[in-house]
Amino acid sequence: MTKFNIPATFIGRPYAEKHFTQIVQHAFAHNPFYQHFFASSSAIPLLTREILQEHNDELLNGHPVSGKTSGSTSIPVRIHWAQPRSALDNRDSTNYAEWFGGRLPHMKIVALTAHKAAENTLEVATKVPEQLQFIRRQVTENGVRSLISYPTNLEQLAQYLLQSGEQIIELQRIVCMSELFEPSQEVVIRQAFPNAQIAATYSSTEVGMIAGRCPHFPENYHIMAHKLGLEFLNAEGNPCSEGEVGQVVITDYTNRKMPLIRYAIGDLAAPITCPCGKTPLPALTQLLGKQRGILKHPNGGNVFSTQLSAEIRDTPGIRQFQVIQLASTHIQLRLIARPNAVIADAEHEIRALFERVFGQAMQLEFDWCHEIPRLPGGKYMEFIGLS
């Protein structure tokens, strides 16, 4: 490979073009996987998750594993980051706090399998009333004003508070991490924590923080374009136009030990120009989460979680849910009931919703249970598509 074509998205953007070229040349010179992968054509192929999984050892090229994705049904992806790459991501998190007016004393409620234990950190599997005790203690004793957790956990906390007729007014900021953050969750969280600004990050184990929610136009997320090149590609493989949803393809300019070039991470989003005028960073919108979490219609089309989630959440009797597609015409619903739920009524409503969205061919199976576990890294999957 002496000459290669720069993908259309990068052309005419000097910084992106330069960094894309550099990482491709570096990978081709030093990484055995890319020496084969790039050899046959001048076009740089997409690195799908499947190809990455199949060639993970070659890509690691002898470097130790520093991070692993927590797959629900799939094989985890193993990643190597050198120390400077980790430091870069820590800086990105700090800088993101600046968009919201700087760092605040914070606490975390996260999975301790993925985060360090500390005085200000609580395991996310802790029962909701104990989480609330922890929050109140941190607020009164340590002056903590910011809470970092997963949207699904924040929603549980918020619902519990609202049902008890309570709010927590002291929190000034809530940072949602790791999972797709949906508008219907935000509504509940805002009611329970009325004085908190809501920040949210879009991140992944493979490339770290990808984008941060705009403080001024919350439907948009600004891209960490200094370290990542993002492409949004439509079904034909061409760049999406403004506002058109397509697959997110990421090139990490800085991970030289384990380069990830044109990595199709499995998410969908649309490119957008954010009108805030506060940051020159490009933006994305309509983030639709992991393609693995997208369900298939029996006719072959996609069904996005956002078409179902708000209504499932609003169904009386349901406290928590997980939708698992087992086959193109078979879906299992794991559900946790609220006290005094009328199970038959809840099932009737859910059946009507799924019939409206999927037609009559979809077979539904209800599994009412007492607990639905999170993935090992702490992430909670509300929708698990066919793998």
Least Cα distance to 190 among 216, 221, 248, 151 occurs for 151
Closer of 165 and 280 to Zn ion (Cβ): 280
Span interacting with Zn ion, options 87-95, 274-282, 311-319, 360-368, rule CB under 5 A: 274-282
Residue 67, strand partner residues: 79
Closer of 74 and 93 to Zn ion (Cβ): 93
Residue 345 phi/psi, 5° resolution? -65, -45
Pairing of strands 295-296, 302-303: antiparallel
Q: How many Cβ atoms from other residues are within 10 Å of residue 226's Cβ?
A: 14
Closer of 82 and 276 to Zn ion (Cβ): 276
Q: In whole angstroms, how close is the CB of 300 to Zn ion at the nearest point? A: 36
# of chain residues touching Zn ion (CB under 5 A) = 4
Span interacting with Zn ion, options 21-29, 124-132, 272-280, 315-323, rule CB under 5 A: 272-280
Span interacting with Zn ion, options 119-127, 167-175, 246-254, 269-277, rule CB under 5 A: 269-277
Q: In whole angstroms, how close is the CB of 306 to Zn ion at the nearest point? A: 21
Candidates 124, 148, 177, 274; binder of Zn ion (CB under 5 A) is 274
Q: Who contacts 300 (Cβ-Cβ below 8 Å, separation ≥6)?
A: none
Is 190 within 8 Å of 215 (Cβ atoms)? Answer: no
Residue for token pair 């259309």: 8
Q: Give the x/- contact pattern for Zn ion in 201-240, rule: CB under 5 A.
A: -------------x--x-----------------------
Distance CA 252, CA 18 (A): 13
Closer of 79 and 272 to Zn ion (Cβ): 272
Distance CA 145, CA 37 (A): 49
Q: How many CA atoms lie within 13 A of 80 on its CB side?
A: 15
User: Strand (E) positions, 94-183?
Assistant: 106-110, 121-123, 146-149, 173-176
Closer of 197 and 332 to Zn ion (Cβ): 197
Q: In whole angstroms, how close is the CB of 155 to Zn ion at the nearest point? A: 25
**3-state SS class at 200:** strand
Pairing of strands 47-48, 318-327: unpaired
Q: In whole angstroms, how close is the CB of 218 to Zn ion at the nearest point? A: 9
Q: In whole angstroms, how close is the CB of 274 to Zn ion at the nearest point? A: 3
Q: In whole angstroms, how close is the CB of 229 to Zn ion at the nearest point? A: 19
**3-state SS class at 262:** coil
Closer of 51 and 276 to Zn ion (Cβ): 276
Q: In whole angstroms, how close is the CB of 272 to Zn ion at the nearest point? A: 9
Distance CA 304, CA 307 (A): 6
281 lies in the site for Zn ion, by CB under 5 A: no
Candidates 112, 276, 337, 357; binder of Zn ion (CB under 5 A) is 276
Q: Give the x/- contact pattern for Zn ion in 308-337, rule: CB under 5 A.
A: ------------------------------
260 lies in the site for Zn ion, by CB under 5 A: no
Reading the block at residue 39, the tokens are 């050899």
Q: In whole angstroms, how close is the CB of 342 to Zn ion at the nearest point? A: 45
Pairing of strands 173-176, 146-149: parallel
Most distant CA pair in the chain, distance? 69
Q: In whole angstroms, how close is the CB of 173 to Zn ion at the nearest point? A: 17
- Residues of this chain that interact with Zn ion (CB under 5 A) are 214, 217, 274, 276
